Each structure stands twice: as structure tokens, then as C-alpha cells.
Amino acid sequence: MEAFIVKKVLNNNVLVASHPRYEETVLIGKGIGFNRKKGEPIPQASAEKMFVLKNETEQEQYMKLIPSIDNQTLEVVISAIEMIRSRADSPLNEHIHVALTDHIAFAIDRIRKGLAVKNPFVAETKILYPREYEIACEVVDYINEATDVYLPEGEAGFIALHIHSAVTDKQLSELSRHSHLIGQLISTVEHEFKMTFDKDSIHYMRLVRHLRYTIDRVLTGEKVEEPEKLNHFLQQEYPRCYNLSWKLIKIMQQALQKPVYEAEAVYLTMHLQRIQTKLES
């Protein structure tokens, strides 16, 4: 079996090695980096865990990040990512090793300093990415048991976005923008109807999912059929909901910088009308 060659020791328990088949690899194991020198061969059996970082930028970022994280936190984060890998139904983009390591280490550090960060989109994330959120809750429970900190529920929302990003290869910044946009659209509906949604209600869940699928269709340019007679009927019968649907569409157009097909107003109006009927009952 071909040996790994030490490229850089990051700390006593983590090193970067090269391998003829795997190329650049991060090896993790108790004391694996202790007294190791660059160019030294190392058997694979010495490593408890390993993962490949093919992207040079990811390698550089990981190498810079690891020395600033204490061993206990790093062990917890690596185990958390292994947990995600075993639970996820799809391969993970290697970027999760840098992005989630950085996020969890920073979150733990903040909590230890008494600086918890509120996640305003946790309810939306829970609805949009239920499987990722379920895995994230397991990760938060594991971190809370393995460390001296207590990560709040909002952290499960942040971690779920990281998982979804790694599973779908979508940029985390794009997912965050879409969560923010859905939050903005929901606030607009609440303001118009002078109400606050029960975040556990079926109407809220349906609306959030509908808005998410609308955003996806706008981004991919997918056109939905426009039932013209229904459009005219809704405009006449439910002008408030119809006008609100167009208000939401204009917000989407501005945020996404893409046109939204008129048919989306019909389906949005129907959703909004259902909510209004429930409010009046």
C-alpha cells in the first residue's frame, strides 16, 4: 500500500499529506502530527480519519484556519462533519470542511464569550430544508454534549444552510440571500394583513414553500402556464390579494434581477386568498 508523504503539519493531530492516488489529503489522528517532518512517509493506518481537498484555495484556507482552533473544538468539528457525511443522502462539496469548521469554531468561541447571535430565518430554514435541519439538530445536540457550551436552536438553522450548500453545490451567500428575501416577502404579507404568522401553521409552511419554488423558477427561467380567465377573475374578486401578489413579485424582481412571469401572480393570489379567508373565519 502506497504511503502518504507529509506536506505540512497543522497541529499534533492534523496534517496535510500528498498521495499518488488521493493527491492532497488531510489526515486526522491522535498525535499524528507530533514530531513529523515535511517529506516523511506516513502509513494510512496512522490516520483515524481522512478527507481530500482538491481545490487549492480550500487547502490554503484550511491550513490557515486550523492553527487558530484548539484541539478539543477541532475534534468536535471534524466528528460533526463526519456525522453530516454519514447522514446526508448525497456527497458533500469539500468546501464544507473550511466553511463549517470556521462557522462552528467561531460560534463556540462567541458563546463562551457570551455573544450569542440570533438567527432570524430559522423557521424558514426549517421549512425549506427539513432533512438538512434534522441533521443540523443532531449536530447541535452532539456539540452541546461534547463541549462546555450550549448552542441555541438558531445555530441548527445556520448549520442546515451549510449542509444544503454542501449537498447542492450552491453558494452559502446565495442561500442566505434567498432566506432573507423570503423573510422580507413574509414581512410584507404580515404588514398588509396586519397579522403575525404562527410559524408552525400549515398556511405559513405552504406560503414559505411556495415562495421558495417561485424563486427557484425565476432563477431557472421556468415558465408556468397562465390561466387567463382565472387571472381576470382573481383580479376582479380579490383585488387586495392580487395587488399584494404583484407587490411581492416586484420585490422578487428587484432582489433577483430577473423577470417574473405574470402567471406567478395568479398562484400567489390564490395562496394569499386562502390566508385571508382563514384570518376572517
Cell digits of residue 266? 395568479
Does this model's pTM top 0.85? My answer is no
Same domain, 149 and 98: yes
Same domain, 188 and 225: yes
Read off the pLDDT band of 136 (50, 70, 90). very high
Domain boundary among 170, 197, 224: 170
- How do residues 29-69 score in pLDDT, each as one tens digit? 888 888 899 989 988 788 888 888 888 888 888 888 888 89
117 falls within a domain: yes
Domain boundary among 118, 141, 170: 170
Same domain, 218 and 139: no
pLDDT at 22 exceeding the cut of 80: no
CA distances from 73 to 109, 118, 122 (A): 9, 22, 24
* Contacts of 254 by beta carbon, 8 Å cutoff, 6+ apart: none
Same domain, 76 and 163: yes
Same domain, 106 and 124: yes
Are the C-beta atoms of 206 and 271 separated by less than 8 Å? yes
Same domain, 152 and 98: yes
89 falls within a domain: yes
Read off the pLDDT band of 280 (50, 70, 90). confident
Same domain, 137 and 107: yes
Q: What is the mean pLDDT of the chain?
A: 89
243 falls within a domain: yes
Same domain, 138 and 97: yes
pLDDT at 155 exceeding the cut of 90: yes
Report the alpha-carbon distance of residue 89 to residue 83 in Å, rounded: 12
Of 99 and 11, which is predicted with more confidence? Answer: 99
61 falls within a domain: no
CA distances from 156 to 14, 85, 100 (A): 26, 16, 12
63 falls within a domain: no
Read off the pLDDT band of 104 (50, 70, 90). very high
pLDDT for res 21? 80
If one counts the domains in the chain, the total is 3
Mean pLDDT of 202-230: 86
Q: What is the DSSP letter of 42?
A: E
Mean pLDDT of 180-206: 92
Same domain, 85 and 183: no
The residue range of the domain holding 190 is 173-280
| Closest CA relative to residue 15, chosen from 42, 1, 3, 23 | 42
- Residues pairing with 24 in the sheet: 18
59 falls within a domain: no
In three-state secondary structure terms, 119 is: coil
20 falls within a domain: yes
Domain boundary among 170, 192, 214: 170
64 falls within a domain: no
Same domain, 192 and 218: yes
Choose the weakest-confidence range: 113-122, 174-183, 254-263: 113-122
Residues 148-155: contacts with CB under 8 Å, at least 24 apart = 148/112, 149/108, 149/111, 149/112, 150/111, 151/107, 151/108, 151/111, 152/116, 153/122, 154/116, 154/117, 154/118, 154/119, 154/122, 155/107, 155/119
pLDDT at 227 exceeding the cut of 70: no
pLDDT at 79 exceeding the cut of 70: yes
Report the alpha-carbon distance of residue 107 to residue 185 in Å, rounded: 28
pLDDT for res 1? 63
CATH number at residue 162: 1.10.1790.10
Same domain, 166 and 177: no
Mean pLDDT of 116-141: 92
CATH number at residue 31: 2.30.24.10
Cell digits of residue 66? 486550523
- Between vectors from CA 247 to CA 241 and to CA 250, what angle results, nearest 5°? 145
Same domain, 215 and 188: yes
